[in-house]
Amino acid sequence: KQEVTQIPAALSVPEGENLVLNCSFTDSAIYNLQWFRQDPGKGLTSLLLIQSSQREQTSGRLNASLDKSSGRSTLYIAASQPGDSATYLCAVRRGFGNEKLTFGTGTRLTIIP
């Protein structure tokens, strides 16, 4: 059974700093991995999707990397801003015919102005 872990559960950093969020998964046989952000009580916003054959994806100040063999992904946020404060979730999908996303429990990020 796939287990997805995100450590730390919460992180506070001063505005302007670069930071890295971690995601690890137990079963390396994944189809893709997706990073989301969730604001309190709100929906999930897709940030980046990395296919299993890819090593990284970039969007603006965000860069996500994937090391499938070691079961790890990182989300790098450059020049953090207060608006980045949210919970960040990673989710893995097992296979093309397997639809479900298995989510990690998230990292609650607070950017201190």
- Site for other proteins (CB under 8 A): which residue of 71, 104, 109, 111? 104
What's the one-letter identity of residue 46? S
24 beta partners? 5, 72
Alpha-carbon distance 76 to 28, whole Å?
Answer: 21
Asked if 30 is part of the footprint of other proteins (rule: CB under 8 A), the reply reads no
Asked if 86 is part of the footprint of other proteins (rule: CB under 8 A), the reply reads no
Alpha-carbon distance 53 to 49, whole Å?
Answer: 12
Asked if 113 is part of the footprint of other proteins (rule: CB under 8 A), the reply reads no
**CB of 59 within 8 A of CB of 48?**
yes
CB atoms within 10 A of CB 111: 20
Smallest separation (angstroms) from other proteins to the CB of 41:
8
Asked if 43 is part of the footprint of other proteins (rule: CB under 8 A), the reply reads yes
Asked if 32 is part of the footprint of other proteins (rule: CB under 8 A), the reply reads yes
Residues that bind other proteins (CB under 8 A): 31-32, 34, 36, 41-46, 49, 51, 89, 91, 93, 97-106
